[in-house]
Each structure stands twice: as C-alpha cells, then as structure tokens.
Amino acid sequence: MNRIIFFAVFVLGMAACKPEPEPIIFEPTVPKLIMKFKFDPTQERLNNLGQPASMPVGNAGQSPSFKKMAAHYIELTPEATTLLGDGLVLFKADETEDGGALAIDFSKSNPVAEGEAFFSVPISTLQTGIFEYLRVSLSYQEYDIAYRAQGFDLSGRLASFLGYNQYITTYNLDGANVVVHANKWQGYWGFRTLGQTIQGQVPPGGITVPNPLFDSSPIPAGSCVVTAQFDYPLYITGNETEDIVVTVSLSINNSFEWTEVVADGKYEPSIGENVVDMGVRGMKLIVE
C-alpha cells in the first residue's frame, strides 16, 4: 500500500514540475510596398519618347533571354509636370568617387531575376499621396543572346551596364570573374562565350530610355530613368492593411539591336555587325 501511495505522489510531483509550454507569439503583419520585375518580349516596342517604334531599315534585333536586372533609383511621381527628383524618392543606390567622377557603386547593387522583389518598404514609413507615374532608373541587365560565327549558331551571356556612370571593381559573368577597377559610362558591356570574355562600349545615345513625359518632365542625358503611368493613380493612405505589389513589366521586344551586313536577322559580329542599342523598350505597371 505504501508503495502505491509513494508512486502516486511521485507521479503528481513530476506533473507539477513539468514546464509550461512556451506561448506562441504571432507577429503583426506589416503591409509593404513591393516591386518586382517582369521581362516581356511581346510588350509594345517604344522609342525614347514613349511612342511605338519599328525596327530601322538596315538593322535587326532579338529579344534576349533575361536573367537579371538591377535598379539604382525609384521615384513615385504625382503628375506629368513633376520634375525628376521632386516626387517621392523611394530609393537611390550608393555612389562613390573611387573611380574619379561620381558613379554608382556597382558592388552595392542587387540584380534580381524576374518575379523577385527588387524593392520593398513598409507602407507606414512612406509619405501619403496620389501618384500617377513611376520612374525607375535601370543600372544593370544580364541576359543570353544568340549569334552566328563561321556558319555556326551559338549563344553567350551579356552583362550590360545601363547606369549613367558606374564604378566597377569586378563582376561575375557566367562563372568568370571580370576585373575592371574603373568607372564605366552608360553602355559598357561584357560578353562571354566559348570560355572567352569580350568587353566593349555602345556608342553614345545607344541606350533607349522610354519617357512619355519627355516634354513636361525630361530626364538627364545619359541616364536610364524609364517612366510609365499607372492605369489608375496609386493611392497611399497610410492605412493599408495589405501589401501593395507593383509588377514593373519591361519591354524586351527586340531590345538588343545591331546593324546588319547580311540581312538574315542573325547577329554576326565577326563580319562587322555592330551593336547599336541594348536599352529596354518600354515599361508598364501592374498593381496587385
């Protein structure tokens, strides 16, 4: 009998010493403004004025297979007459003078793939207002292109630097480390194929930057500030309970363009077919 009483007391004592389970704490959801890229080869092809653009006679183009894109400036703009910088500036990338003149610090950039967020911020930290336009300055793009050499159809990886001026220490191109340690102006590129890396520069003015506000709100020459209008004005009230997701759809419709020596629609650099443009060809905004 004593054994039974002792066992019962022991079990009750163990139960009393059992630690209480940790409470589950649910963190409140913080609504954010989130921006993602989309690369669309079927989207309308525009010129610098934001107007439809056909392929010039004597040129040809292709829609690249995109891998990554980076931005170095983002601004929400209330109206068409708002000058660049006078809107709600959401982001501006780090800059440096390590290469001499002021330039974007490429080492601090964050290229992302399609569907990945390239910008995110709690909405509660933003200025409230009504915004009709979005400006995004693109700084870097990476994609695969097709080309022809000595009768063979081949492909390679292109790194294209779109920012006004960038200080580049090194960058990785399809597994290879490209060493620069210098400032590079808009239009600098590196191309890797068959285990070799080639570097070059698009001529001045060779980067199309669609801006439908060209007359009322111009952008500086040499920048890559692409502008687009929301289908409906974007309202930021500060009382949002859910995320606002903006898909920045970029037209890559024949965005890689060259002059043709042989009119066959195939890029063949070995016979003197030179790149004349590698800018994006328009921007549309999809709000969720």
pLDDT score of 8: 44
Contact status, residue 103 vs residue 93, Cβ threshold 8 Å: no
Residue 118 scores a pLDDT above 50: yes
Q: How far apart are CA 66 and CA 64, in angstroms?
A: 6
Task: Quickly state the pLDDT bin for 29 (edges 50, 70, 90).
Answer: confident
pTM given for the model: 0.88
Beta strand 129-149 with 88-92 is unpaired
110 pLDDT above the threshold of 60: yes
Name residues whose C-beta falls within 8 Å of residue 71's C-beta, 6 or more positions apart in sequence.
91, 93, 118, 119, 136, 137, 138, 139
**Alpha carbon of 125 to those of 30, 187, 208: distances in Å?**
11, 35, 33
- Indicate whether 220 pLDDT > 70: yes
Per-residue pLDDT tens over the stretch 46-67? 999 999 999 999 999 999 999 9
Q: What is the pLDDT of residues 72-100, one digit of tens each?
A: 999 999 999 999 999 999 999 999 999 99
**Helix residue ranges, H only, the chain:** 2-17
Percent of the chain residues topping a pLDDT of 90: 87
CA dihedral 129, 132, 137, 143 (to 10 degrees): 120
User: Which residue carries 């653009």 as its tokens?
Assistant: 53
How high is the mean pLDDT of the chain? 92
Across the strands, what pairs with 166? Answer: 104, 184
Mean pLDDT of 202-225: 91
CA distances from 27 to 22, 24, 30, 32, 121 (A): 15, 10, 9, 15, 17
Question: Is pLDDT of 26 > 70?
Answer: no
Please state, in angstroms and rounded to a whole number, the distance separating the CA atoms of residues 263 and 267.
10
Bridge partner residues of 139 (DSSP): none
